[in-house]
């Protein structure tokens, strides 16, 4: 069992309350975290009995794990790493697509929106689920981005420069999502990131990072 295989896939009869619980739990876990989320609140929102969670998922913790798998599958299905850009496209173009897809995924509203929140929480306060997430989702994306960066820098993917630059790029993306509560307080006049905003933001990060990588080894740089 891993994050790439959506769990058992039960018969249509039981699927109703099961997914209702998954959706409700996604909302609640994302907004208040695992510990502050109560089974009662989840069940109330799902319109099912309190005992349903334990009946269908065993306990609260495995429900949380299932929600993580469920949201991961949805998010990555809706926004694949390179969007609609060909893997044969120039590295610069793939970089822009990668970043835009990332921002869309983490900033999307609705069902896939939990995913970003859940992952953020998982990073600062890991549960047992983080190992699975890193193995099945983050590591592959990390390797993909390192390939792109390696092409741009003209160095092998295992190179230390490539690794550092990759992290500098990802860091910018993660930051906007993790620190949203801070950013909205720092810039109250700034509107929240909508679809148009993510495209502009992806453009800035791409240009910033490309300029950095192209001139990182300039002799002029201190």
Partner DNA sequence: AGATGATTCAAACAACTGTTTGACAAGTCA
Partner DNA sequence: TGACTTGTCAAACAGTTGTTTGAATCATCT
d(CA 213, CA 133): 29
* Neighbour count for residue 66 (Cβ, 10 Å): 21
Binder among 5, 6, 16, 214 for DNA (CB under 7 A): 16
Distances in whole angstroms, Cα of residue 56 to Cα of each of 19, 38, 59, 111: 10, 16, 9, 21
User: Near a second copy by CB under 8 A, which window of 10-18, 20-28, 62-70, 201-209?
Assistant: 201-209
Q: Does 196 bind a second copy (CB under 8 A)?
A: no
Report CA Rg, the chain: 20
Q: Which does 83 bind (CB under 5 to 8 A by kind): a second copy, DNA, none?
A: none
H-helix segments, 85-138: 91-107, 113-124, 130-133
Answer whether 122's CB lies under 8 Å from 182's CB: no
Q: Does 39 bind DNA (CB under 7 A)?
A: yes
Q: Which does 175 bind (CB under 5 to 8 A by kind): a second copy, DNA, none?
A: a second copy
Footprint (CB under 8 A) of a second copy, residues 127-146: 130-131, 134, 138-139, 142
User: Would residue 9 be called left, alpha or beta, if left means φ above 0 and alpha means ψ between -120 and 50 degrees?
Assistant: left
CB of 6 to DNA, least distance (A): 17
Binder among 7, 56, 81, 92 for a second copy (CB under 8 A): 92
Q: Report the interface residues with a second copy, using CB under 8 A.
A: 33, 35-36, 92, 96, 120-121, 123-126, 130-131, 134, 138-139, 142, 163-165, 167-168, 170-176, 178-179, 181-183, 185-187, 204-216, 218, 220-222
């Amino acid at each position: 069992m891993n994050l790439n295989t959506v769990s058992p896939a039960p018969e249509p009869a039981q699927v109703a309350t099961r997914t209702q619980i998954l959706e409700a739990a996604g909302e609640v876990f994302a907004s208040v975290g695992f510990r502050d989320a109560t089974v009662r609140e989840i069940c109330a929102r799902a319109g099912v009995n309190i005992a349903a969670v334990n009946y269908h998922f065993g306990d609260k913790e495995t429900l949380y794990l299932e929600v993580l798998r469920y949201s991961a599958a949805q998010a990555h299905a809706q926004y694949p790493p390179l969007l609609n850009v060909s893997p044969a496209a120039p590295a610069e173009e793939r970089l822009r697509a990668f970043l835009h897809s990332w921002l869309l995924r983490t900033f999307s509203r609705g069902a896939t929106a939990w995913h970003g929140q859940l992952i953020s929480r998982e990073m600062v306060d890991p549960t047992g689920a983080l190992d699975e997430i890193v193995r099945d989702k983050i590591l592959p994306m990390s390797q993909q981005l390192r390939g792109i960066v390696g092409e741009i820098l003209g160095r092998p993917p295992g190179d230390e420069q490539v690794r550092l630059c990759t992290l500098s790029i990802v860091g910018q993306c993660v930051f906007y999502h993790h620190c949203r509560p801070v950013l909205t307080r720092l810039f109250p006049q700034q509107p929240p990131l909508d679809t148009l905003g993510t495209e502009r933001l992806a453009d800035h990060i791409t240009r910033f990072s490309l300029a950095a990588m192209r001139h990182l080894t300039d002799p002029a740089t201190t």
